[in-house]
Structure 1
Amino acid sequence: MWVQILLLLPMAFLLPPGAWAGEIIGGWEAKPHSRPYMAHLKIQRRGKSYVCGGFLVSENFVLTAAHCNGDNITVYLGAHNIQQWEWSQQKISVRRQIPHPQYKRETLNNDIMLLQLAKRAKLKREVGTIALPRANEIVKPGTWCSVAGWGRTSTESESTSATLREVTVMVMLDAKCPKDPYGPYDNYNPSTMMCVGDPAQGKDSSKGDSGGPLVCRKTAQGIVSWGPPTPPGVYTRVSTFIPWIRATMRRLQP
């Protein structure tokens, strides 16, 4: 399988054979704190450190990709520059990781996970939640959305961005991620995944950006998941999982 996990490095123990990772390509630095829902995840697993993105959906829950799991996760909210102290930042440990029960590591199907925070986030201008879509809501192909993260900015460099970067990307037809057994999208599932990013634009998300939101009209419609080295990339379709998200949050609320 030729896939590009949009996560962190080094992370071979998490990936299917031959998996790739990538970066925000063709983007720009975001206005500081213009995306108050963004979460930066620091992950410990088997003695190694990794990073992912995520987004705040309530005072004590962050949504991210299931492949961003680990032995221990710390969430940073209100961050712009993750390499320096900022008065706006809130550092909160994760009490519980809840990956979707049908998550498949081999195919990255159902690549979605809720993180229950150890304490409630303090909501203010720099820290806020983002709206979720209606259950089974469909984003029309041709819609322009945005994605942001602290991942790599070039395929030629392993360095990641200290500051939050963003890029606009187009939602594509599912047919643009064809299930060809000899191609990079063999595991694409249109009921749980979105095909995003016009190859002609060359803009994409990736390494270090996994788990971050695909935002369409101020709503988190997708989650950065996987894809080949060039767009389109594959995002988890959030609207498919709204019943599970709502039920899980209700069950775990103190």
Structure 2
Amino acid sequence: MQLLLLLLAFLLPSRAGAGEIIGGREARPHSHPYMAFLLTETPRGPSTCGGFLVREDFVMTAARCLGSPMRVILGAHNIRRRERTQQRISVLRAITHPGYNQQNNLNDIMLLQLENRARRNRFVRPVDLPQSMARLCAGAVCTVAGWGLVSLNRRTDTLRDVRLRVQRDQECNGRFDVYNGRRQICVGDKRQSSTTFRGDTGGPLVCNNVAQGIVSYGSVFGTPPAVFTRVARFLPWINRTMRRFQQRDQTETPLL
């Protein structure tokens, strides 16, 4: 079943919305050791998403990537190859934010507890989260990485990355009716072609080695800016959730 899911995920279209890198370049192999590639079964069929390792037993992604079953690939550069650096781990449980709204994509964040802890090495390593709820300033230059569409109809097998600039909230307020600057980040200069697109929803926006955002949604035409979930806003929920499920699993066996 897992092999069939893997094969089908590459044959069918990626999840709609923001996601892959347009205007980026192939990343130096394993330069983003926190990156995760997600294979998911949804009511509409197999789908793929991005994500990122935040602790040896937890991956963070977008709530809109929810499906069952789910499988995570860590340590990958080329997702079509069985690289020796890869760790493939099933998801024990998916925890979406209780306030996630499918209609406007608010609170688009999810934690995936892994069935087995990832082995930390130079190919697989968690990324830091913000230390406070302080806002990320407009003008900050950050990195986004992902697999999937590099144009409206062309995929890539290898991880790509791009540097994008954080924009003022007004740039997204005028473009997306449901944008919320307290919970979301506006990213990508509309005067440039670089942006995220289909195929990597759930990937991280990394600024100074800290995961500040999660790819959420953007233009269906792949033009910037795009909207990212603001990770800092959810720190209390993130810390509480990882602590709660770790403690629970020390005292009881989960029902699968």
The answer to whether TM tops 0.5 is: yes
**C-alpha RMSD over aligned residues:** 1.4
Does the 8 Å CA contact 2:18/2:216 hold for their aligned counterparts?
no
Give CA-to-partner distance per residue, 1:13-44, whole Å, 9 cap, x none: xxxxxxx5563111000010010000000001
Partner of 1:237: 230
Q: 1:129 aligns with which of 102, 126, 131?
A: 126
Alignment size in residue pairs? 234
Provide the C-alpha distance between the structure 2 equivalents of 1:63 and 1:189, rounded to a whole number of angstroms.
20
Counterparts of 2:39 and 2:99 in 1: how far apart (Å)? 24
Higher helix share: 2
> Residue 48 of structure 2 aligns with which residue?
51
Contact residue 196 and residue 233 of structure 1 kept, 8 A = yes
| Structure 1 residue 235: Cα displacement | 0.2
Between the aligned partners of 1:89 and 1:82, the Cα distance in structure 2 is 9
Which TM-score applies when normalising by structure 2? 0.88
Q: Per the alignment, in what secondary structure is the counterpart of residue 176 of structure 1?
A: helix
Inter-partner Cα distance in structure 1 for 2:99 and 2:65: 15
Query: Alignment partner for residue 251 of structure 1, among 219, 236, 244?
Result: 244
Q: Please give the alpha-carbon distance, in whole angstroms, between the structure 2 residues aligned to 1:196 and 1:40.
A: 22
Q: Deviations over 1:131-162 (max 9, x none)?
A: 0012312111011101000021012x2x3210
Q: Say whether residues 1:186 and 2:181 are aligned partners.
A: no
Q: Which runs of 5+ in 2 are unaligned?
A: 1-11, 250-256
1:61 aligns with 2:58: yes
The TM-score, its normalising length taken from structure 1, stands at: 0.89
Percent identity between matched residues is: 51
SS where residue 164 of structure 1 aligns? strand
| Structure 1 counterpart of 2:169 | 174
| Secondary structure of the structure 2 residue equivalent to 1:245 | helix
Tell whether 2:13 aligns with 1:9: yes
Which residue identity does 2:204 align to in structure 1? P
Deviations 1:78-135 (A, max 9, x none): 0000001100000000000000000000000000000000010000010000000123
